[in-house]
Amino acid sequence: MDDGGARIAEKLATSVLQRVPALTDALVRVIEQQNPGYRRMNVVPDEDLWRSCHDNLTRVLQLLAGLDRADDADADFHDAADATGQRRARQRLPLDDLLRSFRLGGRLVWQALIEQARLEGTEAEALVEVATRVWEVIDALSAQVAAAYHAAERQLVRADEQRRAALWEGLLQGRAKDAAFAYEAARIVRLPVDGPFVVVSAGSGHVTDGLTEALGERLDAAGVQSAWQARSDILVGLLALPKSTPVSTAGAVAVLRELLDAPVGMSLVVSGLAEIDLAFRQATLARRTVPPAHNGFASLSDRLPEALLLSSPELTEPLVQRWLGPLLDLPVRDRRLYLHTLRTWTETAGSTTRTAEALHCHRNTVINRIRRLEDLLGQSLSGDDIPIELGLALRALPFFPRGALS
């Protein structure tokens, strides 16, 4: 803009500055009529809308009047745009609706300048450069308000993430026994307060947003509401099961087995968010029953003996050592052979015939191996009942350091 055009813009804007309150009333009416987002969202109070219109119109006209270039100018002429962008982000007004209101304000300022030019007898040709200056200012302030909006939006996202993380921590630590916390948690994670729940704990090595979205969609299709949180080392899921009689986990289990390629543990069914802490501990224990370095699904209801053994390592290790220690001292090849025979023999309730069929060998071979095992272990294995301790030791073996490779 040349000096002549700049002087005309400054003169007109200085005059229009005296009419800011009336222009503010007009802009509020225009926004209410032509920007339906404000009415639809209903998040901006009337007084807030009037004040932001007033302050932003003032700054637009001051910039057009050249007050920012004055020698004694010390004001922040972007303060109104910054404040408006931050407030609208916190109010969750869509950015498009906010920017539309700035365009409506720019049009109103331009109309006011035209009216003032007519009153002062300014030639129409001189207004071309004024129009260019008006939209330069509007564009600059629109960019400023958008930047402030995005900055506030990022802060809100961080705050929401921190709040959500704290809420999850509270759920897993048992704070949902407090009814007020339980209802707030239910609102945030969008799950019911009461009803049958299970908790899922899975290794998080390959967790992505796409995976948690797929889990949510597939479980929802199976009639199971869910919420998921990826923690530093695990993926945790809260699953609200259908209120059927009896309660069934079949639909949820089918989805979990298909989509989760990791060690996965599922708790027993608990009642409501108030028992999520118990279910989380159960799910964690169930996941630990998946042998090390393996992927697989473990429901605590199917792994109660293993879970019991894992929860008492100070008893489990002596049990394994007492019943299987000599066997673990064998060379790897022999150890695996005799362990396989022993497991199969216990699974067939001590039947040498069925053990031979399962191992594809002669019955006499099984008998000889059992005798060798009796010598190694110093225990009689020829009675009608298999020792309970032996069965427990075999179940515990995959989690025992010396037996993990067996």
Taking residues 271-282, report their average pLDDT. 96
Peptide bond into 318 cis (omega under 30): no
Taking residues 348-371, report their average pLDDT. 91
Q: What is the pLDDT of residue 168?
A: 94
SS3 call for 93: coil
Q: What is the pLDDT of residue 406?
A: 46
Q: What is the token pair recorded at 41? A: 């969202």
Q: How far is Cα 344 from Cα 356, in angstroms, rounded to an integer?
A: 9
Amino acid at residue number 194: D
Q: What is the pLDDT of residue 398?
A: 83
Q: State the DSSP code for 270.
A: E
Which helix or strand (DSSP H or E) is residue 226 part of? strand 225-230
Query: What pTM, to 2 d.p., does this model score?
Result: 0.65
Residues in contact with 72: Cβ distance below 8 Å, sequence separation at least 6, in sequence order: none
Q: What is the pLDDT of residue 5?
A: 67
Q: How confident is the model at residue 103 (pLDDT cuts 50, 70, 90)?
A: very high
Q: What is the token pair recorded at 221? A: 């299709």
Q: How far is Cα 2 from Cα 181, in angstroms, rounded to an integer?
A: 64
Q: How confident is the model at residue 74 (pLDDT cuts 50, 70, 90)?
A: low
* Region label for 355, one of left (φ > 0), alpha (ψ between -120 and 50) or beta (otherwise): alpha
Give me the residue label for tokens 């030019």.
Answer: 117
pLDDT tens digit sequence for 156-205: 988 888 888 899 999 999 999 999 999 999 988 999 999 999 999 998 77
Q: What is the pLDDT of residue 304?
A: 93
Cβ pair 201, 287 in contact under 8 A: yes
120: pLDDT strictly greater than 90: no
Of 24-33, 54-63, 203-212, give the lowest mean pLDDT range.
203-212
Q: How confident is the model at residue 405 (pLDDT cuts 50, 70, 90)?
A: very low
Mean pLDDT taken over the chain: 89
Helix, strand and coil in the chain, % to nearest 5: 70, 10, 25
Of 66-70, 84-88, 271-275, give the lowest mean pLDDT range.
66-70
Which helix or strand (DSSP H or E) is residue 237 part of? strand 234-240
Taking residues 248-256, report their average pLDDT. 90
Going by their DSSP bridges, the two strands 225-230 and 196-203 should be labelled as unpaired
Cβ pair 132, 200 in contact under 8 A: no
pLDDT tens digit sequence for 255-265: 999 999 899 99
Q: Start-end ranges of CATH 1.10.10.2840 in the chain? A: 314-399
What is the maximum span of the chain, computed from C-alpha positions, in angstroms?
120
Q: Start-end ranges of CATH 1.10.490.10 in the chain? A: 3-156
CA neighbours closer than 13 Å in the CB half-sphere of residue 313: 7
The CATH architecture annotation of domain 314-399 reads Orthogonal Bundle (1.10)
Taking residues 65-76, report their average pLDDT. 71
Q: How confident is the model at residue 54 (pLDDT cuts 50, 70, 90)?
A: very high
289: pLDDT strictly greater than 80: yes
Q: State the DSSP code for 291.
A: P
In angstroms, the Cα distances linking 20 to 23, 30, 172 are 5, 15, 56
The number of angstroms, rounded, from the C-alpha of 216 to the middle of its chain's C-alpha atoms is: 11
The number of angstroms, rounded, from the C-alpha of 67 to the middle of its chain's C-alpha atoms is: 48
Q: How confident is the model at residue 207 (pLDDT cuts 50, 70, 90)?
A: confident
The CATH architecture annotation of domain 194-310 reads 2-Layer Sandwich (3.30)
In angstroms, the Cα distances linking 177 to 68, 104, 180, 237, 302 are 59, 52, 9, 19, 28
Taking residues 25-52, report their average pLDDT. 94
Q: How confident is the model at residue 2 (pLDDT cuts 50, 70, 90)?
A: low
Gap between the terminal Cα atoms of the chain: 84
CATH 3.40.50.150 assigned to domain 3-156? The reply is no
In angstroms, the Cα distances linking 312 to 307, 308, 309, 315, 323 are 9, 7, 5, 6, 17
Q: Start-end ranges of CATH 3.30.70.2730 in the chain? A: 194-310
Taking residues 201-211, report their average pLDDT. 81
Q: How far is Cα 117 from Cα 123, in angstroms, rounded to an integer?
A: 8
pLDDT > 90: what percent of the chain?
A: 61
